[in-house]
Amino acid sequence: MTSMAVTRAQPTPLVQEIVKQLGGHTPVKKLGASKLTPVEPTLQLLYTASRRLKAERDERMDITRVLTPVKTGFGGFTRPPDLIIARRFAGGAYALGGRVLEQPPPHAYEPHTFFLLQTRYDVRFPQGRVESPEYIYGVCREHDLPQILQRYNSKKAPASTLLTMDNIRWPWGKQKRIWSEILHQTIAPPPTTPPDGHDPESETVLRSEYIPTLQVTPVWIPMLTVTVATRPLALTISRLCNSLAMGTPFYAAIDSHDRKCRKSFPARIRSMRLRRVMDVILDLAAVLNGARGGIPGIRWHHEDEGRCVGGAGLEFPTPEEKRAIQVGIGSCLPEWMRQEWSELLAERTEREVPGKNPFNMFEVDDFGTRRRWGTEDEVPWCKASAEHMAVDRLQQEPWYREVTALKKAEALFLRAAQSFAEPRSQRRSAFDDDDESDQEEEALEDAEDEVQSELRPQMFIHNSDNAMKQAQQMVETLNLSELTQTEELDLPFPFAIVLVPENGIEGATPVYAPLDPETDEMADLGRLEEMGITRRIPVGMARKFVKRRQELWALRKRDELVMMKIGYSSKVHYPNRLFPAT
C-alpha cells in the first residue's frame, strides 16, 4: 500500500501575526475595527448625568459600609466588604483601566437634615396590629425643613400620608368601645362575613374636617432632626436608622405576644427608634474624628478626589465645621425623655467619641422652628446655596420651558403612535386565519375611530408661504456626525403643540405655545389664531421636528441641562416635591 503524504494548509501571515502576539504576551491589535457610531446629544446628557450621580452614590455606599458591622452569621465565610473607592487606588480597577470619572453634583455638598416625624395621635391599622403612632424618615436641605413640615400637614401631602391621616384616631372622633354594652348583649350567631380593617361610616372623619386644623395643630411633628455637612452623610443616617443594626425591622425584636399590648408596644418602638438614631450618630461622629482610620473616599467639596486617593486628606484632620453634627430634639417628646436622651448622648460621647464633642443640641418645635437647648433663643436655619439658586433660576428661562415642553410633546407623539398601531396589529392577528376580508376591514375602521376619539397631539406653525418649506428643511434626517450648533434655534419660527379632543379644535389644550405678551403665559387658541399660527403639519413631520429641536438644544445648553438633571436628588424631599413616606 502506497503511503500518501498529508499536506497541511500553511497559516496565513495574518494568523501568524496573531499567534506571535499571543505567544509573546502582547496585546492583539484590533483588526478591521468598525467606526464608532456617534451618540445622540440627548443620550450624552443622560450618560453624563448618570455618571455624576453615580459618583455621589458610590460615596454614600462606602460611608454606609464603614458604619455597618460585618455579618458573622456564616462563620469562616464572611469578611469586610470591599469599598468602591479602593478601585481608584494604585492597582485598582479604575486606575489600571484609565477610567475617567465625573465629579459628583455640587448640590450634594451643602448642609442636609435627616428628620424623623411621628403622628400626634394613634393610627388605626388592619386586624392584628395595635393602634400606635406612625413614623416617617426623610432627608431635606437644612433650610427646607419648615416648608417640608408645612407640606406634610396639608392636602398636598403624598397619597400614602393622606391615607395614614384618614386612619388617625382623631380627638373629636369615636375613641373607645363601650364594653358595658357588649357585656350585656345576648348571645348572637357569628357574623356571615369575617371582620376587616375598614372603619364604619359613623367612625370615619372626612378630610374636609381635619385638613383645616393642620395649620394650627400639625399632625406630623418632628421627633428628631440631625443636620450634617453633606448629602451623602444625611442619606446614610436615614438608611441606617430605618431599621436595626443588621437590617431587621424594629417590631421583630419584640415577642409576638408583646406586640398585642396596647400600652407597651408603642413606647418600646419609640424607644428603639430613638436609641437607633443615637447609635448611628455616635458611630458617625467617632469615624469623622478619626476612629478606625476615618472614612475612605469621603468628600467635603464636589471637586475633591476623595479621602485616601493619592494620599488626599491624610495630612490634616477633618475640619471642625465639617464634622459638627447638629441634633434637634422635638418638643413633642415628654420633658423627662428629652432630658434623659440628651444626658445619655453626652455620657456616651465622652466614652465612645475621641476628641472634641461634635454635637450641638437644639430643640425643635412642631412647626420646625429651632431654639437653643435650654433657652428660648431662636436659631435660624441656613440659607439656600448658590448652586440651588442657580438651578431655580434656570427653571424660569424661556429656553428651558421649551425644552420641557418638547420632552412632553415627544412622549405624547410616541404614545399616540403606539395607541394607533396597537389596535391595528391586534385586529390583523385576530383575522389572520379568517377569509372574511369584510370583517377585517370593518374591525380596522373601528380601531381607527377609537383612536381618533382620544386626545391627539397636533403641531401648528405660522400660516405663511414659506413656513412649510422651512419646516421641511428643519425636519431633515439628523446626521449626528455633522450636527453642530447652528443658528437654527435663533430663527424666528413660531410653532405650537396642542392636544386636540375628538370634537375638534374647540377645547384644545396647549402643550407649548409662544408667550402672550399681555399675560406672560402660553397663548390660548384665540391668541394663536391672532398670531397666525393655524397651519397644521403632519404628525410624522412634527415628531421629526421635535426630535431635531431637542438635539439642537442639547448641543447648545449641554452644561445647563446636565445641571438641571442632577440638581434634585430622588432621595431628598423638596418643598415642591415630596416622595412617598418611608
Q: Residue 230's pLDDT is what? A: 93
Are residues 524 and 427 located together in one domain of the fold?
yes
How many independent structural domains does the chain possess?
A: 2
Q: 84 by DSSP, 3-state: which?
A: helix
3-state secondary structure 86-119: HHHCCCCHHHHHCCCCCCCCHHHCCCEEEEEEEE
Residue 192 in domain: no
Please give the backbone phi and psi of residue 500, each rounded to the nearest 5 degrees, phi first. Answer: -100, 125
Mean pLDDT, the chain, whole residue set: 80
pLDDT tier for residue 443 given thresholds of 50, 70 and 90: very low
pTM value is 0.79
| 124-181 per-position pLDDT tens digit | 888 888 889 999 999 999 999 999 999 999 999 998 999 999 888 888 776 554 444 4
Q: For the beta carbon of residue 216, count every other beta carbon within 10 angstroms.
A: 7
Average pLDDT over residues 542-570: 86
- Alpha-carbon distance of 140 to 147, in angstroms, equals 10
- How much of the chain is helix, strand and coil, in % rounded to 5? 45, 10, 45
- Whether the CB-CB separation of 85 and 365 falls below 8 Å is answered with no
Residues 303 and 246 in one domain: yes
pLDDT digits (tens, 9 = 90+) for 62-86: 999 999 888 776 666 777 778 888 8
* Grid coordinates belonging to 352: 465612645
Lowest-confidence segment of 2-11, 268-277, 508-517 by average pLDDT: 2-11
Among 454-458, 558-562, 566-570, the minimum mean pLDDT is found in 454-458
Q: Is residue 300 part of a domain?
A: yes
The fraction of the chain above a pLDDT of 70, given in percent, is 77
401 and 549 in a single domain? The answer is yes
Q: Is residue 305 part of a domain?
A: yes
Same domain, yes or no: 306 and 434: no
Q: Is residue 56 part of a domain?
A: no
Whether residue 346 has pLDDT greater than 90 = yes
Domain extent, residue 456, equals 393-566
Summarize the confidence of residues 272-289 as an average pLDDT. 95
451: pLDDT strictly greater than 70? no
Q: Is residue 189 part of a domain?
A: no
**Are 328 and 428 in the same domain?**
no
Same-domain status, 363 and 494:
no
pLDDT for 377-396, tens place per residue?
888 888 877 777 778 788 88
Q: Is residue 442 part of a domain?
A: yes
CA distance 423 to 445: 10
Residues 379 and 400 in one domain: no
Identify the CA nearest to 157 among candidates 545, 573, 556, 535. 573
- Report the SS3 class of residue 495: strand
